[in-house]
Structure 1
């Protein structure tokens, strides 16, 4: 069974009309997976909200407190990109915990997918780019407390650089960060991951897929991680509103299948988050994000037959 992590709060977020963040996509993706028979209700799990104290392991305690209590200043909230609300707090705390649970399920089952996550622009003491707390670094740090997990690789294939992941994970020698992203895109000021692969605008399937496959293979051989956290952002798509790469839907599927297959071949648990994806057409966004689930199902089926 492929465990899937989801909570209804992910899409319960009141935003101004024409806001760029597609908050409803999580709910619609959940429905789409069930309607298309890609997933079954029994596969879904929900996480309890992460605690303020636990978040302080990687974030400034004052920043965490001010956000949760609604006392963060206007400038800081503007940098995040959301108006503050109690529903924003709930979805944020549950989503961070969801990525942690995804890691736990991946360790138990080999692979798990979170229908949220990938908030890689969140730094130690501030949020940015629709990201408040860094679920990737937090989940990696929590996983390192588990038996037999001594090194975690965060493999970020969202179109934007994981700048917040780079800065929050820098304090942990046993968290390896890699970001494969479009060079000329948000954030304007890049940070230093352990590995940064910058791709020019207009990069298409062939070069992109070779880069992803070769980079992951190299990192696995060099670092031999005990867990991979994979940000499978679909904002690499040629028609994404905020991306500048020319990757097809078929290319997204091929990327996701390659990454998951490499993890299975090397017997490394892989926890996947859906990451970014921006479109005014929800049906198209469903199709793009669903490639991750289709790829995982294919890999699992192939491995069961062996």
Structure 2
């Protein structure tokens, strides 16, 4: 069964000015239920991630300031969100969603989180709408518990997974792969194990050719026993922040490549939503929904 982390908190506690792009957290599960891709049985409400798990990735000083709402004005500005207790509670539950999804993926082959992909969070700070790093916390959980020996993080959001790269820079058991806009945020890039920088305006055929060039080779070379997939849809031509030119069909084919490759190699996968900032909310929801439709078709 496809298990999907979702909580009503995902759609709440966000500042008013950020409500439009974040409507996807409400609309995506409604769409998937309406069309019959999933039923209510597919969803689970994750628990907040315990503090000891958070501290396996994030620095004590940073976490203490975050949970007590003591970040400096400069630190708050870098996150992009006004800081509140509700926002921190929301983030901690999203982290729990990805970690719990990892166990479901070990059982069923794939699991999803209708949030997460918070790849701009570093060990000691948050940036770019990311306070804590869910894929990093999920990977660390699997390694700590002996449930995985080698993890591959496939980050196909339009923005580089800079926080994830920093967190695992000295961890040979985690391979970070980021394929992103070369001239997009963050303008100071970290160094992933493999970075593929894309030119502005790249279209479906060239993008998919690059993914096919690199990802199958990585699966053979890295030999991961678990994959975390950051499946942001800000690669779309309609995205206000992305600068790339993929169609909805091209984005869907991107997801198909990742999911089918993991199934073929027998590697469990967790997909987190990542970014999406198209002018029409319907474009965002449709592109994200394709990831879930494909997971059902391919794995079940």
Q: TM-score range by the shorter chain?
A: over 0.9
- 1:136-179 Cα shifts (integer Å, max 9, x gaps): 11110101133451010000000000000000111321011000
| 8 A Cα contact 1:12 1:24, kept in partner | no
TM-score of the two chains, using structure 2 as the length reference: 0.97
2:179 corresponds in structure 1 to 180
3-state secondary structure, aligned to 1:65: helix
1:20 Cα deviation (Å)? Answer: 7.9
- 2:240 is the alignment partner of 1:253: no
Q: How many residues align?
A: 300
1:140 corresponds in structure 2 to 139
Determine the C-alpha separation between the residues in 2 that align with 1:272 and 1:92.
17
* Gaps in structure 2 of 5+ consecutive residues: none
- 2:147 is the alignment partner of 1:169: no
Determine the C-alpha separation between the residues in 1 that align with 2:147 and 2:51.
26
- 2:69 is the alignment partner of 1:70: yes
* Gaps in structure 1 of 5+ consecutive residues: 302-306
TM-score of the two chains, using structure 1 as the length reference: 0.95
Q: For the structure 1 residues 78 and 21, does the alpha-carbon distance in structure 2 shift closer, same or farther, using more than 3 Å as the test?
A: farther
| 8 A Cα contact 2:239 2:279, kept in partner | no
| 8 A Cα contact 2:155 2:161, kept in partner | yes
- 2:285 is the alignment partner of 1:283: no
2:236 corresponds in structure 1 to 237
Determine the C-alpha separation between the residues in 2 that align with 1:102 and 1:159.
23
Determine the C-alpha separation between the residues in 1 that align with 2:288 and 2:240.
15
Q: For the structure 1 residues 206 and 261, does the alpha-carbon distance in structure 2 shift closer, same or farther, using more than 3 Å as the test?
A: same
Determine the C-alpha separation between the residues in 1 that align with 2:294 and 2:181.
23
| 8 A Cα contact 2:79 2:129, kept in partner | yes
Determine the C-alpha separation between the residues in 1 that align with 2:20 and 2:174.
29
Determine the C-alpha separation between the residues in 2 that align with 1:11 and 1:61.
28
1:21 Cα deviation (Å)? Answer: 7.0
Across the aligned residues of Structure 1 and Structure 2, the Cα RMSD in angstroms comes to: 1.3
